[in-house]
A and B are shown apart, each in its own frame.
Chain A
Amino acid sequence: MSHAIDSADHHHGPDKGILRWVYTTNHKDIGTMYLILALGSLLIGGTMAFVIRAELFQPGLQLVDPNFFNQMTTMHGLIMVFGAIMPAFVGLANWLVPMMIGAPDMALPRINNWSFWLLPFAFGMLICTLFMDGGAPNFGWTFYAPLSTTYAPPSVTFFIFSVHIMGISSIMGAVNVIVTIFNMRAPGMTFMKMPLFVWTWLITAFLLIAVMPVLAGVVTMMLMDIHFGTSFFNAAGGGDPVMFQHVFWFFGHPEVYIMILPAFGIVSHIISTFSRKPLFGYTSMVWATASIAVLSFIVWAHHMFTVGLPLVGELFFMYSTMLIAVPTGVKVFNWVTTMFRGSISFETPMLFAIAFVVLFTIGGLSGLMLAIAPADFQYHDTYFVVAHFHYVLVPGALFSILAAVYYWLPKWCGRMYNETLGKWHFWMSFIGVNITFFPMHFVGLAGMPRRIPDYALQFADFNAIVSVGAFIFGLSQLIFVYNVWRTTIGGKGEKATDKVWDEPTGLEWDIPSPAPYHTFQEPPVVK
């Protein structure tokens, strides 16, 4: 058993005052800031979802005009993807990776600070576009050309700069994660002894440095088409709008795996702890994650099955997309087998983790249906796709983040969150999420397209149900906000022990709760 020795040095605590947060290079502080930014983005993006669902509650235009509706759908997507999910996972990486590998901090602490502080500027710029002449970006979060170039509002330039800044932040953060994991593991911690969350983040970081630059490339090409007279995506000058889609999705597909691999890591930890059983098939889980990452580079055109790809191309992407279901399935089987013949208890983190396995699997199965290219001609750009990706992102990625916060918060702040409130949050979210997104499968199959502010009468009943579900789900997140505030700033809640849970494994449980400002200043020895 290794013990972390926290230095008794009193002047190693955090600085006083608000400037502490501006100048901090401490991974715990930076992790906290990322998580707060993510929560704020979740609430802003969620408000936009409220506007969307309020308009779609009934057929007809009641609240907003179609142009503003398109701005809401675009900004909702951008803020949730780039402002909520990604920063939340980076925040968790910051808090947990150093502690899990027995390192005192990230390898590049000042870059870490920069990576965070770039984001409020990037998002400030993006949100300001709502108040510009012509309005915010209104061309969908996937911003296809030429709608996003020749026909875009003036705010598109700010959108492009905002994306550039977010991309730089992500790339620097990913470099930091890779260098930290490679160079700063405690002696004895070989790669195959690393906790699964560290593995999934290592692989995610490689995906990030590979594809965020391609996103930067594609928005730069847009900038050049809009302002410098080039014709990357303009047929008039010999360019090709379809090429935009290829380059965008070359980034876009790995991006969705970037948004789920860390979730796989989190859920592996939590299921194992609350089943009181080691994770089943650790080696297999590592290989499956790596295979998913590699395969994610060769499936991109399954987002483009109706664009007019040559037959050979269409078949290739159908096969590769079906193939990626195999390692994903392996992971699900491994989680279920971890639970099987365990000794399971159902605290809030475990509830969210179990819901993740069930609901992410449903999302994954609808993804398998979408992979069947001929069938996709009837699913593409309908609410069936909206159902699929919301299942994998909301009860998928988001639930894993909520689970992680419940699971590790006592370690971070030294107090237990309120378990009753936690369970209320869980059940209302679980019910809300299914009422919101399950009917979308039906309206999509029945023929309702995406990104429309108004719809034909046969879609009305399900849309009303979806909107009610959205309000239930959205408002229940306030229970979580209150619980977190109450436990951290409010100072309420039972004191947490060092182990917090029933014999969890991992170096982070060997240090006190709350975790001291500086941990593992001497590396522990890992056997």
Chain B
Amino acid sequence: MKRVGISAVSALLLLSTAHSAFAEWGLNMTEGVTKVSQNIHGLHMTIFYICVVIAIVVFGVMLYSIIYHRKSRGAKAANFHESTTVEILWTIVPLLILVGMAIPATSSLIDMYDADDAEIDVQVTGYQWKWRYTYLKEDVDFFSVLATSQEQINNTEEKGEHYLLEVDKPLVLPVDTKIRFLLTAQDVIHSWWVPDLAVKKDAIPGFINESWTIIDKPGIYRGQCTELCGTGHGYMPVVVKAVAKDEYAAWIAQQAKEQAAAREVKDMSMEELMAQGEKVYSSNCLACHQKNGSGMPPVFPALKGSKVALGPIEDHIKIVLHGKKGTAMSAFAEQLSVSDIASVVTYERNAWGNDKGDMATPKQVKQIKESGK
């Protein structure tokens, strides 16, 4: 009995000193950078310790029996087989422990549901397989796409430090400011999660969900989609960059300028179009249509030798702008600038031996975009 008691106490001591160290070893939940995330971490550790104590008691008794009540040791079986008192006790005591746990959990939940008085509203829309962020009051709108190269995924290149957790344009937010998220989805159910903020909410097509955060510390916080949404489910990370309030103000102002520049039409040579096109292709098209343009038919058609890439250039531009309904082909009109679209179309028509020889101009793309369909 003494042996079990000593080992139990030492186990508890060991655990109590190690809990925050666990997080560094990748063993435990992050404490995060918001009051909510720290609150949740506290709840998590409390229920964890309660579970550890219960386990030590229960397994301790079992271990004792396994050692001292074995037949090979000469133990004789007792005959008792019921006790109403004991049954009542071990029903009531766990119940009381649970009630004790439910009280702080309730107050945390009530706090998590209070999205009032936010200063900034961001709409988060899940797409197959990327996120779109819209700052509702400031009119800033952009897509956020996985930035890890296909070569890293296919093991032909060494993986970077933030493999699968990096994007081209992160969500930039100011610290110490209440931010409200409005979540929805274009197609299937997705879920937006940033562990360090302890924000997770499902993005459901046709509905909006609400969540909020106040970030205490500047930094870069990475998360992922957490609802199975098809083949690209593991490839649509979330990256939040929290900055000081003045840095945020400057960034937001800069975005308005950049969005205007994206609409600008300039002349580009064939070489410029091909170079930019290859970059745009590898960030936005390669994952499905593959590096050599052969796609993964029937779901992701080949572009090499395809009717679209070798057919009328207007139709090709329209598919890239407006997507194709009933397929996984997205519309890129709101995601890429006119010069990006012109370059990628030019690239697709001339790479992999397609050699069509023609080129799309940003002016042409803008014209088609503005004409409607």
Contact = CB atoms under 8 A, between A and B. Distances in A.
13 contacts: A240-B207, A278-B81, A308-B202, A336-B65, A342-B75, A343-B76, A357-B62, A365-B55, A368-B51, A374-B105, A374-B112, A375-B44, A457-B161
B29 interface: yes
Interface of A: 59-62, 65-67, 70, 133, 138-140, 144, 146-147, 150-151, 235-236, 240-242, 275-284, 306-308, 311, 314-315, 318-319, 322-323, 325-327, 329-330, 332-333, 336-346, 354, 357-358, 361-362, 365-366, 368-369, 372-375, 377-378, 380-382, 442-443, 445-447, 449-459, 461-462
A332 B51 CA distance: 14
A371 to B, nearest CB: 9
Contact of B81 (A282, A327, A369, A381): A282
A138 B188 CA distance: 14
Given A241-B207, A458-B26, 15 more contacts: A235-B204, A241-B189, A281-B83, A307-B202, A308-B210, A326-B98, A341-B69, A342-B77, A374-B109, A378-B40, A446-B27, A447-B224, A449-B224, A452-B233, A459-B26
Contact of B109 (A311, A333, A337, A458): A311
B112 A377 contact: yes
A365 B51 contact: yes
Given A61-B153, A283-B82, A378 B44 contact: yes
A381 B90 CA distance: 32
Contacts of A67: 231, 299
B69 A323 contact: no
A151 B47 contact: no
A282 B82 CA distance: 7
Contacts of B51: 365-366, 368-369
Contacts of A282: 81-82
Contacts of B224: 447, 449, 452
Interface string B19-36: 000000011111000000
A449 B98 contact: no
A451 B200 CA distance: 17
A336 B60 CA distance: 10
B55 A362 contact: yes
Contacts, number: 279
B200 A342 contact: no
Interface stretch (B162-170, B272-280, B312-320, B363-371): B162-170
B44 A146 contact: no
Closest CB pairs A-B (n = 4)? A235-B206, A452-B234, A381-B226, A278-B81
B47 A281 contact: no
Contacts of A325: 94, 98
Interface string B83-119: 1001100110011001001100110111011000000
Contacts of A311: 109-110, 113
Contacts of B70: 343-346
Contact of B204 (A307, A340, A369, A447): A307
Contacts of B101: 322, 372
Contacts of B81: 277-282, 338
Contacts of B54: 329, 365
A280 B80 contact: yes
B132 interface: no
Contacts of B82: 280-284
A454 B155 CA distance: 12
B87 A284 contact: yes
Contacts of B225: 449
A345 B71 contact: yes
A410 B72 CA distance: 23
Nearest to B208: A308
Contact of A322 (B98, B110, B159): B98
B262 interface: no
Q: Which of B79, B164, B223 has the most CB of A within 10 A?
A: B164
Contact of B202 (A59, A283, A306, A315): A306
